[in-house]
Chains A and B, each alone.
Chain A
Amino acid sequence: MAGHLWRTAWHRHSRFQMAVVGLGVGAMLGGVYWASWEGLTLVHRVPFIGPLIIERLVYLLTLVVFCLLVMSQALVSLSACLRSPESGALVATPSPPASVFLCKTSEATVVAGWATAVLLVPVLCAYARVAGWSLSSLVTATALVLPYLAIAGAVGAVGMLSVVRAVPRQRTLVMWGLAAAALRGVYLLGRPLWEGRTSTGTLTQFLHELLPSAGWAMSPWWPSQWLAQAWLSLTHHRPGEALFHAGLLVANALFAGWLVWVVGHYLFRGTYLVFQDHAGPVTWWSRRLARVARGCWRVVDGLLAWVPQPARALVLKDLRLFWREPLQWGQGLIFFGILGLYFANMQRMGYDLAFAPGWKQLVTGLNVMATLLTLGSLVVRFAYPQMSLELRCAWLWGATPVSTRRMLLTKFWVHGSLACAVTEGLVVLSNQALGLPAAMQACAVVMVGWASFALAALALGLGACFPDVRESDPAKLVSSFGGTLALVVTLAYVGVMTACVVVPWYGLAAPRLLTAQAGLSMGGEPWLVAGWAAPAAAVGVAGVASLAVGGVPLWVGARRLTQGDVR
């Protein structure tokens, strides 16, 4: 069967596409392994307490991944169980609803969890090397990820079904709930800065802050704790304890499967029918909400008055569609929110006071990389399919005076501006928290601004170069050759931009920073090596890379739209 699937894939997809995918995945996994190895080795070398910090990090990592998996599973389950045409066809058959729900939940678990499993492998390999695991321990530890994923999948799916069943106007309430969560997140983000909380910057205080925070991740009620404990038991050569926690994971994974079956039996069919009732009961508060929503859109239209028609119509339409797809901005909210919370709390961990020469500069580079990687993955996921989906409306576009080229450029400005607003906010937050020199802050802000527009142009341009009007599922569009190419180029480009931040400010400056710290100043600002040459060159390289990565696909895509047929 596997051989048949491989042969089918080999013949269906181009060899070039498979080679690109293979190289990209290999490079990514290699990069994750290298970064994990470097980070774990660095921490492990901290005198006396390095291994203790690593243990805490294992608990935190497994808990954070578990929470993200549950949220991701909930979103994927919503599509797979309640929105897919296949579910509708299955509900109409005599198949037991419990079977349908279990089947779709399993499918959603694989979809939501496979990437996590793949990414955990290089991290585990790096940890295995640091901890001195045998090969059998590594294989066992990797295998234990499967029941961990199953539990997260079940929790996410059951939670999603319960929420949808309980909420009559799910879309509106979910959106308002997410908006309220976003406001709360902004408050949490800003509070450390508003209150001017800072640390003394000593290692002792850093550990004093970190270690208790990790304590709640060690609660035995978390499934993530069972996985973490199993791994740590292997590290400490306690096979009995490892076996116990492995058994705990497997037993609870089986229980989770049973729970999915029971919940599906009692809730799935009714929830499916409620979900199909798009209108829902019309109450006074739903009418009031609808009036408020219309008023809000009139305000937005007024704010866009400076944009000429028909571009304003295009922008308003895209904003409405974006707002009414919580899956899109919800994921952005989660990932950018996590980054924002981390950046805002860096002062509490003493990042603003250097532990080592160049530490702040290095952290800045890593923060820029994390921000751009998050943006890149979200932009490819949501912006790349846009042109294919719009061209399905070709009956509308083709017959209007508005050209598809104009539509593409309008989308570029909308996506780029939104991306820029979010990423610049995060980078400014990071710069402020670290207390960077003004010159470095300015360079980081300029580079991230360019990168935001470049990534938007790359995704949209490649989407216009490789449109597929026959496919309506955005996830399948992203997994096509064009989407894969967009992802690979995004990763390479983010690497280049990160290097442009890190190399001149950290790589070249570290020796001078060390000298300055030792009181042997050589004059001038320590982070400026050979005057402004290195930073200026880095900014230049970033500009050229941004123009190439963003400008070329956008130009080619626009040309293709102007010249090509829409089948």
Chain B
Amino acid sequence: MSSSTTPMILLEHVSKRFGDALAVADLSLAIQPGEIFACLGPNAAGKTTTIRMLVGLLRPTAGRIAIGGHDLAAQPQEAKRLLAYIPDQPFLYEQLTGREFLEFVGQLYGINGADQGRRIEAWLATFGLDSAQEMLIESYSHGMRQRLSYCAAFLHEPRVLVLDEPMVGLDPKAARLVKEALRQQATQDGLTVFLSTHVLSVAEEVADRIGIIDHGHLVALGTLPELRSRAGSTGQLEEVFLRLTGGAPQVVG
């Protein structure tokens, strides 16, 4: 992880309100280039809302978001050129083949010709989809669709990758592949990753820093040792997480 004066992802006093409900409250974060940041939290904590604001699908009620120094509200196109986003359940065009879908995504980002073909071949091979590239997406399993989404995300060589529940539907082999790809891209190419997950082991294995959100508020932020110290625990991240978010639920009966 390298330090830089310009954070790759910057959230300044970001809030989001849906009617009377406050989904995200005064969230401030700065994520440096090449950093992998994991966002944890209970259900309905505001993780997905934060992510959707980050990628421009929701407008913050208050605050400012910048990607690579570009204000997301003022310079959305410049900011989005640096971004790639994969939701927990990516909806794909079922009547396109895998290759056609990647060609389409490449053209959206202005990648054409031989360069596009080279990148598509490379990522299809990386994620083990080269034999299925001419099949319609409707015949893909859930895991194959997730892997195709990763191919689409990496195709235009983004500077920032935003992932919502990145391991959903992936078998252990594919999950290992994704984790290694994230680490490699972050270390070698300076890719900045913002991911949210319920799978605490993913955060433990790949994240440089961890943020814990609860009821829209950022209740903890730091590396794993820092969080352990704050929670007064030397155990697994699960123990730390439960201490910081109100403890384990009691089993009744």
The residues of A that contact B109 with a CB separation of less than 8 Å are: 400-401
Known: A309-B107, A317-B104, A565-B57. A399 touches B83 (CB 8 A): yes
Complex Cα gap A392–B57 (Å)? 11
Given contacts A321-B95, A395-B87, contact A566 B108 (CB under 8 A): no
A320:B108 contact, CB within 8 angstroms: no
Shortest Cβ distance from B57 into A: residue: A398
> Which B residues lie within 8 Å of A565 (CB)?
57-59
Cβ of B13 within 8 Å of any chain A Cβ, yes or no, is no
Chain B positions 62 through 87: 1 when the CB is less than 8 Å from some CB of chain A, otherwise 0: 00000000000000010011011111
Q: How far is the CA of A392 from the CA of B89 in the complex (A)?
A: 10
Let me know if A396 and B152 touch, CB within 8 A: yes
Q: Please tell me if the beta carbons of A395 and B100 are within 8 angstroms of each other in the complex.
A: no
- CB-CB under 8 A from A395, the residues of chain B are 55, 57, 85-87, 90-91
Task: Tell me the nearest residue of chain A to B95, going by C-beta.
Answer: A324
Contact call A279/B95, Cβ cutoff below 8 A:
no
Q: Which residues of A contact B93 (CB under 8 A)?
A: 317, 321, 393
A376-B92 Cα distance, complex, nearest whole Å: 28
Chain B residues whose C-beta falls within 8 Å of the C-beta of A401 in the assembled complex: 77, 80-81, 108-110
Of A312, A320, A395, most buried by chain B (CB within 10 Å of CB) is A395
**CB-defined contacts of B135 to chain A, threshold 8 Å:** 278-279
Q: How far is the CB of A9 from chain B (nearest CB, A)?
A: 26
Residues in B with CB closer than 8 Å to A324 are 95, 136
| A566 and B112 alpha carbons, distance in the complex (Å) | 29
> Restricting to A244-281, which residues have a CB under 8 Å from any CB of B?
278-279
Residues of chain B lying within 8 A (CB to CB) of residue A544: none
CA distance A402 to B106 in the complex (A): 12
Flag whether A240 is at the interface (Cβ < 8 A): no
CA distance A395 to B164 in the complex (A): 11
Contact with B along A297-323 (1 / 0, CB 8 A): 000000000000110110011001100
| Chain A contacts with B in 415-454, Cβ cutoff 8 A | none
Give A151 Cβ to nearest chain B Cβ, in Å: 33
> For the complex, what is the distance from the CA of A427 to the CA of B237, rounded to whole Å?
71
Interface size on B, residues (CB 8 A): 36
> A399 to B96, Cβ gap below 8 A?
no
Which residues of chain A come closer than 8 Å to B87, judged between CB atoms?
Answer: 395
Which chain B residues (138-186) contact chain A, with CB distance < 8 Å?
A: 138-139, 152, 162
* A118 touches B (CB below 8 Å): no
User: A393, B96: Cβ atoms under 8 Å?
Assistant: no
Tell yes or no: A290 within 8 A of B by CB: yes
Number of residues from A at the complex interface, CB < 8 A: 27
Do the beta carbons of A313 and B86 come within 8 Å of each other?
no
Measured between beta carbons, the chain B residues less than 8 angstroms from A399 are 55-56, 80, 83-85, 162
CB neighbours (8 Å) of A400 from chain B are: 80, 105, 108-109
Report chain A residues within 8 Å CB of B83.
399
The listed residue (B58, B107, B138) touching A566 by CB distance below 8 A is B58
Contact A310 B58 (CB under 8 A): no
Query: Which residues on the B side are within 8 Å of A313 (C-beta)?
Result: 103-104, 107-108
Cross-chain contact B95 with A325 (CB below 8 angstroms) = yes
B189 interface residue, CB < 8 Å from A? no
Tell me if B95 and A310 are in contact (CB < 8 A). no
Is B134 located at the chain interface by the 8 A CB criterion? yes
In the bound assembly, the distance between CA atoms of A290 and B133 in angstroms comes to 13
Q: Is the CB of B136 within 8 A of A278?
A: yes
If A312-B107, A320-B100, A399-B83 touch, whether A393 touches B57 (CB-CB below 8 Å) is no
Does A394 have its Cβ within 8 Å of any Cβ on chain B?
yes
Residues of B contacting A402 in the complex (Cβ-Cβ under 8 angstroms): 108
In the bound complex, do residue B85 and residue A398 qualify as a contact, i.e. CB atoms below 8 Å apart?
Answer: yes
- CA A567 to CA B57, docked complex, whole Å: 7
Complex Cα spacing A278 to B139, Å: 6
Complex Cα distance, B90 from A392, in Å, reads 9
| A interface residue numbers (CB < 8 A to B) | 278-279, 290, 309-310, 312-313, 316-317, 320-321, 324-325, 392-396, 398-403, 565-567
- Give 16 pairs: A residue, B residue, CB < 8 Å, sorted on A: A278-B139, A309-B107, A320-B96, A324-B95, A393-B93, A394-B57, A395-B85, A395-B86, A396-B108, A398-B56, A398-B85, A400-B109, A401-B80, A401-B108, A401-B109, A565-B58
